[in-house]
């Protein structure tokens, strides 16, 4: 089996002001641009998203705090099932192109979904984590 890599030269930048202020056609065009970038590259850079720099800094600080927790605390938040896709995934736990992936992730979903619950650190470990991420 031949494995090919999709190389990309740049990350797609999508301006969301057209989505917030545009016609239905313009909103659809923005959605298609986001979808195509995620499909082809895996991520996208959003501009004019109306999220304050202060909030972004807060979430990044809490993310850093989460990943600096001791491994045993993070493993308590381990992925409960592959269907749920919620919780902590350690480095090397997933494979990509037949090799262990070097990333660690913490996956969450819609808080209102009843079938699968998000997993959160203990209050004493990270008091603001859930508040910032969910807001």
SS (H, E, C) the chain: CCCCCCCCCCCCEEECHHHHHCCHHHHHHHHHHHHHHHHHCCCCEEECCCCCHHHHHHHHHHHHHHHCCCHHHHHCCECCCCCCCCEEECCCCCEECCEECCCCEEECCCCCCCCCCCCCCCCCCCCCHHHHHHC
For the whole prediction, is pTM greater than 0.85? no
Per-residue model confidence as pLDDT tens for the chain (135 residues):
454 555 657 888 999 999 999 999 999 999 999 999 999 888 899 999 999 999 999 888 888 888 888 898 888 888 767 777 888 888 877 777 777 777 888 888 888 888 888 888 877 677 666 656 665
pLDDT at 129: 63
pLDDT at 89: 85
pLDDT at position 117 is: 84
Cβ 20 vs Cβ 51: under 8 Å: no
Q: Which pLDDT score, from 0 to 100, does residue 28 have? A: 96
Q: How far is CA 72 from CA 35, 68, 77, 125, in A?
A: 36, 11, 9, 12
């Amino acid at each position: 089996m031949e494995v090919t890599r999709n190389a990309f030269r740049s990350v797609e930048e999508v301006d969301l002001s057209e989505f917030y202020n545009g016609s239905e056609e313009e909103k659809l065009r923005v959605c298609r641009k986001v979808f195509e970038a995620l499909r082809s590259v895996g991520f996208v850079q959003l501009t004019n998203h109306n999220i304050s720099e202060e909030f972004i800094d807060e979430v990044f600080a809490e993310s850093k705090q989460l990943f600096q927790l001791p491994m045993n605390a993070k493993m308590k938040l381990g992925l409960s099932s592959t269907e749920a896709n919620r919780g902590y995934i350690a480095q090397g736990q997933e494979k990509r192109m037949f090799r262990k992936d070097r990333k660690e992730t913490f996956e969450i979903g819609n808080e209102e979904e009843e079938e699968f619950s998000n997993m959160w650190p203990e209050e004493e470990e990270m008091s603001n984590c859930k508040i910032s991420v969910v807001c």
